[in-house]
Amino acid sequence: MTLSDRPNLLVTGATGQVGGALLETLAALGNVVAPPRSEMDMGDPASLRAAIRNVGPRWIVNAAAYTAVDRAESEPELVFAINAEAPRVIGEEARALGAAVIHFSTDYVFDGSGHLPYRESDATGPLGVYGASKLAGEQALLASGAASLIFRTSWVYGATGKNFLRTILKLARERESLRIVADQHGAPTWSRDLARLAAHVIKRCERVTGEAPGDPDGLPQVVGQVAGIYHAAGTGETTWAGFAEEAIRQVRRANPGLALAEIVPIPSAEYPTPAARPQNSRLGGEKLFNEFGYTMMDWRHSLALVLAELG
C-alpha cells in the first residue's frame, strides 16, 4: 500500500491527552490528519465543515471537548458549541462522505446515584453544564444518521497533559498531607488505553468491510451494525483518595527515600466546587467486550505503566 492509498483518519483534539495518544496509535492504520485550531475551530461550524471536507476522511475520531467542568457553569454557550454542536456537524459531514465516527463521551451524563456500574441503557441525568453538553453531543451525533460509535469513559489520565495524577504527584512532593475526596467512586482510565481501543475497533470494522463480498465501500453499513454507545472505562474501582493513595504507594515502593505527602480522605462536602460531581461514576464494560472483544485495563495496572513512563 502506498502513502496515497492509505485512508485519511481525521483526529480532533490532538493537543489533549486522548488526542495525543491517538496520533501515535492510529499512525499504522492510515494518514492521521490533525489540523490546528487555525484550520479547524471546534467552536465554529463553518471552520469544522471546511476542515472535514478538505481532509476527506474515512474515519473521524473526535477526542476534542470542553472539559473544564467548573468553568463550564459560567460559559455554557461555548461549552455547547464544542461539546454538542460540533458532534452534530461531524455527524452530518461524515454521513455525506460515507465516513465513520468514533466519539468520546463521559460518565458525567449520569447523575451518579446508586452503587452499581452504569449500563449503556440506564437513564441519564447530568448534574451540570458539562454533562448536559456531552449528553447533547451524543444525541446530536446519533440523530445525524452517521455510522458512529460513542465511548463513554471516566477519570482520564496519562503521562502527559493536565490531569489528577500529575497534579497529585507534584503536590505530594511539596506538602506533608493532601485532603482528597473519598466518596466519589469510579475508575481511572489511561488515555493510551482509549487510543488502543479506537485502533482495535477501526481494525475490526475495516477487516469486516474487506470481507464483505461485492461491497468494497461498505464501511457505513459495517459500522452501522455495531453503532451506538459503549462504556469504556478502566476496570476495577476506587475513589479519588484511593487513586492518590495507590499512586503514592507505588512511587514510594520505587523510591524508598522519597518524602511524599500523606493522603487524608475527606467527603465531597468538605471540598465544594461550582459544578457537582457524580458520586457514582462506575461504568460497566460488558457491552464493549461482547461486541468488540475488548476489555479496558485494570486501573492499577495502567497506573503502574504511567508511573514507569513518568520515571
Residues near 5 by beta carbon (within 8 Å), at least 6 away in sequence: none
Task: Count CB atoms within 10 A of the CB of residue 24.
Answer: 12
Residues near 256 by beta carbon (within 8 Å), at least 6 away in sequence: none
167, three cell numbers: 497534579
Please give the radius of gyration of the chain, using alpha carbons only, rounded to the nearest integer: 20
Q: What is the mean pLDDT of the chain?
A: 94
pLDDT at 196 over 90: yes
Q: Decide: pTM greater than 0.85.
A: yes
Q: Grade residue 3 by pLDDT with cuts at 50, 70 and 90.
A: very low
- φ, ψ for residue 217, nearest 5 deg: -110, 35
pLDDT, mean of residues 20-43:
95
Distance CA 253, CA 155 (A): 24
Torsion sign over Cα 188, 190, 195, 198? negative
Domain ranges of the chain: 3-163+187-237+281-298
Catalytic residue among 66, 108, 118, 130: 130
Q: Grade residue 215 by pLDDT with cuts at 50, 70 and 90.
A: low
pLDDT, mean of residues 156-161:
94
Catalytic (active site) residue 157: no
Q: Grade residue 2 by pLDDT with cuts at 50, 70 and 90.
A: very low
> Which amino acid, 152?
R
Distance CA 251, CA 307 (A): 8
Residues near 272 by beta carbon (within 8 Å), at least 6 away in sequence: none
Indicate the class that CATH gives domain 3-163+187-237+281-298: alpha beta
**Contact 60/12 with Cβ under 8 angstroms?**
yes
